[in-house]
């Protein structure tokens, strides 16, 4: 029994003499803080952009102008001018015109962009491309712009309305898109007439 007790004390003393190093279970590169959301904050991180753009413009003009004129000349004084008969002229001019134009557009999409640069103020420059092909129709969305880190939601999304210097292009081509183009004969008639 004494040998067992002695052996236990020796093992305990050896364990206490060993240097102890503790490591965190939370890697520092995961986020700024263990309590912070997993938001994009460095170059190479991804952020989801919710594109909801709509624009409506309308313009109208109206013109209403009227002008009346009247001229009357009678016989003059003297033997020759007395022979001229009474001359009378009256006329008018009226212009009425009106016009109106209305234009509206709406673009809704969701895509992921990559942080490519962080400026001196801490704002994040993003860019991304999304290509979709369906039934030989190709659609491509390109996006660039600058976002503030505080505009990124906890689910790592940012609305397109919060992107500064936003450039969003949406282009498509394929059988349906080619039917939307003006024909050659229509172009010739436009040039001639």
Give per-residue pLDDT as tens, 111-127.
999 999 999 999 999 99
State pTM to two decimals: 0.53
Quickly list DSSP for 89-124. EEEEEEEEEEEEEEEEEEEEEEEEEEEEEE-TTS-E
- Comparison of pLDDT for 23 and 54, the residue scoring more: 54
- Eight-state DSSP code of residue 162: G
Cβ-proximal residues to 16 (8 Å cutoff; 6+ apart), any chain: none
- Mean residue pLDDT of the chain comes to 79
- Dist. CA 115–CA 49, nearest whole Å: 12
- Dist. CA 96–CA 64, nearest whole Å: 5
- Dist. CA 95–CA 61, nearest whole Å: 14
> What is the reported pLDDT for 138?
86
Give per-residue pLDDT as tens, 56-79.
888 888 888 887 777 676 666 556
């Amino acid at each position: 029994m004494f040998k067992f007790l002695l052996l236990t004390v020796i093992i305990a003393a050896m364990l206490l003499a060993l240097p102890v190093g503790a490591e965190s279970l939370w890697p520092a590169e995961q986020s700024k803080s263990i309590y912070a959301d997993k938001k994009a904050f460095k170059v190479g991180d991804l952020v989801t952009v919710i594109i909801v753009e709509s624009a409506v413009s309308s313009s109208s003009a109206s013109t209403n102008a009227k002008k009346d004129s009247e001229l009357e000349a009678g016989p003059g004084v003297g033997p020759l001018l007395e022979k001229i008969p009474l001359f009378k002229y009256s006329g008018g001019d009226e212009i009425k015109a009106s016009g109106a134009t209305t234009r509206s557009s709406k673009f809704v999409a969701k895509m992921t962009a990559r942080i490519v640069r962080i400026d001196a103020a801490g704002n994040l420059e993003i860019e991304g491309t999304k290509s979709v092909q369906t039934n030989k129709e190709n659609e491509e969305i390109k996006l660039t712009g600058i976002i503030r880190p505080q505009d990124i939601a906890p689910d790592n999304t940012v609305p397109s309305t919060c992107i500064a210097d936003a450039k969003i292009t949406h282009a498509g081509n394929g059988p349906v898109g080619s039917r939307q183009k003006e024909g050659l004969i229509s172009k010739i008639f436009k040039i001639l007439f």
